[in-house]
Structure 1
Amino acid sequence: MSEPLDTIAAEPPIAARKPSQTTIHGVTLHDDYAWLRDPNWREAMLDPDKLDADIRAYLEAENAYTDAAMADTTELQAELVAEMRARIAEVDASVPTPDGDYVYYLRFREGGQHPIFCRAPRASDGGAAPGEPLAGEQTLLDGDAEAEGRAYFSLGAVDHSPDHAKLAFALDDRGSEAYTIHVRAIDPHGASGDEIQPPIDNTTGNVAWSADGNTLFYVTLDDNHRPCRVWRLTLGEPPANATLIYEESDPGFFVGLGETQSARYLLIHAHDHATSETRFIPAANPEATPRLIAERVPGREYSVDDDNGEYFVLLTNAGDAEDFRLMRAPVATPDFDHWEELVPHVPGRLILDHAEFAHHRVRMERADALPRIVITDKHSGEDHAIAFADEAYSLGMAAGYEYDTTTLRFLYSAPHTPDETFDYDMHTRERILRKQRQVPSGFDPAQYIVRRLTAETADGQHVPITLTHHKNTPIDGSAPCLLHGYGAYGISEPAAFSSTRFSLIDRGFVHAIAHIRGGKERGYRWYADGKLEKKPNTFADFVRVAEYLCETGYTAPGKIAAHGGSAGGMLVGAVVNQRPELFGAAIADVPFVDALNTMLDDTLPLTPPEWPEWGNPRDDAQAFETIRSYCPYQNVSAQDYPAVLTIAGVSDPRVTYWEPAKWVARLRATKTDNRTLLLKTHMAAGHGGLPGRFAALEETGLIFAFLLKELTASID
């Protein structure tokens, strides 16, 4: 259990109180810690060395205190990291993906933190041992070599041109998610060669190619870190010569790039969290003016693929299709008046994604909180689903580069089943296992029990729970439990395999995922019932799951650790305010805990696009009251709290570093217990934390050691 703070060598830092206040809708908000927001935060986000000296001193003092408080777990952390690393295949490779005369893949060398991007002749696919180079391999990009000497390194898109002669890649060396695009020539007989394009700064990191590979499209960020401008650049020209082909004027909308599966059309998406519209450009005619498919209508969403160049196929909620349907429209006349139905809307069956191939249509859908893949033969019209037997599982599809193919690649895993990659023949229905993730230290699925449970809420809803525990773990209320949740943006938590969590499960923890409202596990309505004025349902669902796990003997009050990141960190902050006695510990990873102040400030990154998710408290008094009612920072009170570990990043553009810093400062000044309260701020990283497949384990080791220290009798 946690030690009283006075037994820890270092004293906790106490943030200075500098009172400030804001009055809105007749309510005065008091904020003693607003000074932790650097007035020059934009510069500090891009260059953490520019962070205000007093703020830096406070964050570094918190880091030193965290190090001191966790010093007695140093050996345990090292043991956990070594254990988790032993479950990772150091020499590893993805299944090669065919494109024309080549197959493209990535692999890792022993000890390598970052992927090596490679290609080989198509005929060599399947001719090498797992993780080993294929015959005739060319190294296109060596991530480890690119990362050398950089304090931070993260790759965005790595995308070869249609003529296979060039490679575009994007990198972020600050953690701010502002990527620089580079383009290199690919020597047909060797590695990638010289850069053939001056670097393009301040982009989203995604690119699109014209059909001939001579024109590049990309999106840049504005001063508020909003992707809003699409550019066309002839390869080799300086970025100053790029042509602006689309600019989004609505500050609530983001812009993105894509292409159809056939690669006939490049797509420009504009969207917020409730509305979207798409423009297209023929890839063979990059100089063409982007053409609108259907204008934006508030609340209408659609995404686009093309069917043999004759029709666009649209996944949409148009026509009150809450759980979406598939429609099509002629490419020549794609406006809404010409849309006709292909796959009808079925309430409770949420269509998540779709892909068009020459002879088959594929859709990913979810029903009864589980995913499935449905394939339609375009000639016969016959549908069939790819079936799975597990009680809980995760499923994804990888459409690949090719259009005229009968092969669909999909990825399958379950909490006790390491990832499996299959190639599926959509015509013969034969499935071939191409790869199963290896766990070098050994893994026996028979040692674990996976359950799909449901907890009934006070308003009659049934919240799915994915539960994993060792078969020898007693179900008598004595086990500690790590309860994870997210519940926002319609993002569903997959029941997927994670090798790291077994370091807790093998030590007696029950691992649970609460599939709460705000995600789409039970259809779009599940999402709608956890956003805007119904956001409190998200927190009530999580609390109800915690209670249910106690009632059924999987754990007990005070033995549960609440865990969530970003919007899931808001969840953690809200539930420990509301029901602190249920939880013995809380992990808040880059937590969105100062939601009210952030949603009131339209100068912050991403705020206007977030209003459809949370509400606009500037203009809407009811939205103001709703957010104020649950905002973790606003609702810290003089009560006992569980032990808390909070993680932040100075370069984070999504949840700015001062949100968790202010929350921890107010908690420390207000709470009535002496349980551990720690803040770990990455001074040169952002929302994703530490980059690299092994470096990231250091943070997981810290989190797991914290949980073992707080929720078990010893740290042995």
Structure 2
Amino acid sequence: MPSDRFAPSPSAEPPVAPRRPKRIELHGILREDPYAWLRDDNWREVMRDPAVLDPEIRAYLEAENAYTKAAMAPTDALQKQLFAEMKGRIKEDDSSVPSPDGAYAYYQRFETGGQHPVFCRCPAGAPASAAHGGKREGEEVLLDGNREAEGEPYFRVASCEHSPDHRLLAYAVDRNGSERYRITVKDLASGELLPDAIEEAQGSLVWANDGQTLFYVTLDAEHRPSKVYRHRLGGDPAADELVYEEPDPGFFVGLHKTESDRFVVISAHDHTTSEVRVIDAARPESAPLLIAPRERDIEYEVSDHGERFLILTNAGGAIDFKIAEAPLDAPGRENWRDLVPHREGRLILSLLVFKDYMVRLERENGLPRIIVTALPSGATTGGEHAIAFDEEAYALGLVPGYLYDTATLRFAYSSLTTPQQVFDYDMAARARELLKEQEVPSGHDPADYEARRILARGHDGEEVPVSIVYRKTTPLDGSAPLLLYGYGSYGMSTPAGFSTNRFSLIDRGFVYAIAHIRGGTDKGYGWYLHGKREKKVNTFHDFIAAAEGLIDAGFTTAGQIVGHGGSAGGMLMGAVANMRPDLFRGIVAEVPFVDVLNTMCDKDLPLTPPEWPEWGNPLESAEAYESIAAYSPYDNVEAKDYPAILATAGLTDPRVTYWEPAKWVARLRAAKTDGNLLLLNTIMTGGHGGSSGRFDKLHEVALSYAFALLVCGKAKTQDGAGSA
């Protein structure tokens, strides 16, 4: 374990939160929550306006921030250096590859020094390469994020959609991090804003094909996206027609359009169940058509092709998903016919449909691949082929565009050592063209680094994949510090792709590792099912097994590991800190979901009802209560030595509320028996993702990395890479 030499100077005294025990009884079990007072009763208004936060709570959070600043003051120069390094790896005047749509091609770019994207278009036939500053020939700026963000402490664009006739732009903006968006419509010819402003929106929006009708989703009082409205331009938003209302608070509503632009799709879903309705986009006034009624633990997504729907689903026992088809006029589940049958172990992740092709992204044996299928008749599938790669592809992503009648597929590829590459692939000729390769202005040579993959033996015999990257000059004799990242929830995998930020640790002698643990789908959907609800502890055991496997393989030693995770991954950090503190030198828990039991017992919080399928419902089930209580990090803090810990929070975060990490840190500080650093840093003007600007975020990363370097004894500034 780290010694007291990592404690802050005596002049920096940690805040002590007063204990005000709140007695809670459920299922005949009595417990006390000593720091429940940190949850402001007025939390809904705080998310809208942080200024109304209870003064005592604000004072405590600010005291914790001041303590963090004082404790980390010896690393100020290092943080500045880390920030400069990470910023130096970003091409400041970068641009995305334009996506053609009719007479235009649409793209985003960044300006030198700019924090926010600039949304643009150019003539569809403009040269493929960008000129200086990322600008294209004939460029037209549609929305300048930097100008819009002037004077704002927080600014984020969730959606920016042009109308089908290219005359209008609708965009949704969050200005405080609470994920409550304002939708605005702009006339692109005059630059004027239309009076059609929509408040309290969820952020997603869809144009009907007439270019005069907008569909959008609103949030209820508990911040849940629950209603879909139809807005006719020129009308009063207060009089907009309700198209769909979700009656179950456990289901959230989403909105998008099929690839053909034929249907507006309304999806209602929790984490394991979905239900889809479609509206003819050419007849926006028509009523939604239900595809198939929801059934518990049955998920499905819908595209269309010709006179049929194509359906990605796990129905019929297809644990790793299959693709089915059904007639447009009879889309019920009884009419679903397998098009791509289920094959256990091959998880179909996503589907992209074109006029003559169907593309699926799938994962098998932990590695992704892209499969292209010809659809020559519109009724059956033709031949299919996989896109080949010269090396194992660790991270692949389909890049949707605007065109349906095209043979060109766009995809992105990267690895732990290789920067991202964007390709256009001719599905007929089976030929690819490299359009863009991520530039690292300060320099990056993949040959300087080694990527590895090991399988760690889990507590129950399962093999846990671990992806590893390090500098080739780093000694692998167990002396290297190691940062181990994990998530492991909601079926989300962690691709082993490229990230420029992590090289600030790797070049200082760190080994960087990613644990592909249960709760994600890295080894198929069953990998997810065995890491949720009553089996959630497998997630924590897998992370511990990954740490032990890395030690056994000689990459590091016990007590030289920094665990890192955010949100549900932050809950993972809290759990493993309780279970095996001896393995870790430090823990970085970003917006950590650590107060699991209290949150899952509070049905009024924004995400609680939709989360019950993931964690269990402790209000109704004593078994779920006991299962969650056994691992909930906040409820299992003990009087013992803990690793050094840095926790972060966002004051307006609707996903993991600020009081979860605040309560956790307060309880740890009162209970732990060591002198190791324990820090809480709350972003007072941000939400779940922290600061909104691309460079502002780097200051937060620099703090986390400086913390990791500090506790591992590597917090020296350097003139060149690799010499800590």
Question: TM-score category by the smaller chain?
Answer: over 0.9
Contact 2:6–2:710 at 8 Å: present in 1 too?
Answer: no
Correspondences of 1:134-145 after superposition (within 5 Å): 134-145=136-147
Q: Is 2:223 the counterpart of 1:225?
A: yes
For the residue of structure 1 that corresponds to 2:420, the secondary structure is strand
Contact 2:459–2:542 at 8 Å: present in 1 too?
Answer: no
Contact 1:413–1:497 at 8 Å: present in 2 too?
Answer: yes
Correspondences of 1:48-67 after superposition (within 5 Å): 48-67=50-69
Q: TM-score, normalised by structure 1?
A: 0.98
CA distance in 1, matches of 2:162, 2:470: 43
**How well do the aligned residues superpose, as a CA RMSD in angstroms?**
1.1
Report the equivalent of 2:327: 330
Report the equivalent of 2:353: 356
Q: Identity, % of aligned pairs? A: 57
Contact 1:391–1:450 at 8 Å: present in 2 too?
Answer: no
Correspondences of 1:116-515 after superposition (within 5 Å): 116-126=118-128, 128-129=130-131, 131-187=133-189, 193-308=191-306, 310-379=307-376, 381-391=382-392, 393-515=394-516
Which has the higher mean CA deviation after the structures are superposed, 105-114 or 376-385? Answer: 376-385
1:608-656 deviation digits (Å, cap 9, x = unpaired) = 0000000000111111111001000000001100000000011000000
Report the equivalent of 2:77: 75
Q: Tell me the amino acid that sits aligned with residue 394 of structure 2.
A: Y
- 32, 35, 42: which one pairs with 1:33? 35
Deviation of 1:420 after TM superposition, in Å, equals 0.3
Deviation of 1:204 after TM superposition, in Å, equals 1.0
Which has the higher mean CA deviation after the structures are superposed, 162-171 or 24-33? Answer: 24-33
CA distance in 2, matches of 1:4, 1:368: 41
Deviation of 1:126 after TM superposition, in Å, equals 1.4
Report the equivalent of 2:45: 43
Q: Tell me the amino acid that sits aligned with residue 349 of structure 1.
A: R
For the residue of structure 2 that corresponds to 1:355, the secondary structure is strand
Report the equivalent of 1:651: 652
Residues 484 and 584 of structure 1: CA distance in aligned 2, closer, same or farther (over 3 Å)? same
Report the equivalent of 1:615: 616
Deviation of 1:460 after TM superposition, in Å, equals 1.7
Q: Tell me the amino acid that sits aligned with residue 282 of structure 2.
A: A
Contact 1:92–1:130 at 8 Å: present in 2 too?
Answer: no
Q: Tell me the amino acid that sits aligned with residue 547 of structure 1.
A: E
CA distance in 2, matches of 1:524, 1:668: 39
Report the equivalent of 1:550: 551
Q: Is 2:523 the counterpart of 1:525?
A: no
1:35-71 deviation digits (Å, cap 9, x = unpaired) = 0000101101111110000000000000000000001
Deviation of 1:3 after TM superposition, in Å, equals 3.3
- 13, 16, 19: which one pairs with 1:14? 16
Contact 1:5–1:11 at 8 Å: present in 2 too?
Answer: no
Report the equivalent of 1:567: 568
Deviation of 1:391 after TM superposition, in Å, equals 4.2
Q: Tell me the amino acid that sits aligned with residue 485 of structure 2.
A: H
Contact 1:644–1:676 at 8 Å: present in 2 too?
Answer: yes
Report the equivalent of 1:99: 101
Report the equivalent of 1:700: 701
Contact 1:418–1:497 at 8 Å: present in 2 too?
Answer: yes
Q: Tell me the amino acid that sits aligned with residue 251 of structure 1.
A: P
Q: Tell me the amino acid that sits aligned with residue 544 of structure 1.
A: A
Residues 349 and 153 of structure 1: CA distance in aligned 2, closer, same or farther (over 3 Å)? same
Q: Tell me the amino acid that sits aligned with residue 625 of structure 1.
A: E
Q: TM-score, normalised by structure 2?
A: 0.97
Report the equivalent of 2:5: 3
Deviation of 1:76 after TM superposition, in Å, equals 0.5
For the residue of structure 2 that corresponds to 1:12, the secondary structure is coil
CA distance in 2, matches of 1:706, 1:715: 12
Residues 493 and 447 of structure 1: CA distance in aligned 2, closer, same or farther (over 3 Å)? same
Report the equivalent of 1:635: 636
1:401-444 deviation digits (Å, cap 9, x = unpaired) = 01000000000000100010000001001100000000000000
Report the equivalent of 2:722: none
CA distance in 1, matches of 2:132, 2:630: 53
CA distance in 1, matches of 2:324, 2:6: 62
Contact 1:649–1:682 at 8 Å: present in 2 too?
Answer: yes
For the residue of structure 1 that corresponds to 2:196, the secondary structure is strand
CA distance in 2, matches of 1:8, 1:502: 33
Q: Tell me the amino acid that sits aligned with residue 261 of structure 2.
A: A
CA distance in 2, matches of 1:392, 1:695: 31
Q: Tell me the amino acid that sits aligned with residue 618 of structure 2.
A: P
For the residue of structure 2 that corresponds to 1:304, the secondary structure is strand
CA distance in 1, matches of 2:107, 2:482: 38
- Runs of at least 5 residues in structure 2 that lack an aligned partner in the other structure: 718-724
1:168-221 deviation digits (Å, cap 9, x = unpaired) = 11110010001110010111xxxx611113311111111011101100000000
Residues 284 and 713 of structure 1: CA distance in aligned 2, closer, same or farther (over 3 Å)? closer
- Runs of at least 5 residues in structure 1 that lack an aligned partner in the other structure: none
For the residue of structure 1 that corresponds to 2:78, the secondary structure is helix
CA distance in 2, matches of 1:549, 1:5: 27
Q: Tell me the amino acid that sits aligned with residue 271 of structure 1.
A: H
1:464-509 deviation digits (Å, cap 9, x = unpaired) = 1110000011111100000000000000001110000000000000
Contact 1:561–1:587 at 8 Å: present in 2 too?
Answer: yes
CA distance in 2, matches of 1:20, 1:94: 52
CA distance in 2, matches of 1:445, 1:713: 24
Q: Tell me the amino acid that sits aligned with residue 77 of structure 2.
A: E
CA distance in 1, matches of 2:315, 2:142: 43
Deviation of 1:131 after TM superposition, in Å, equals 4.7
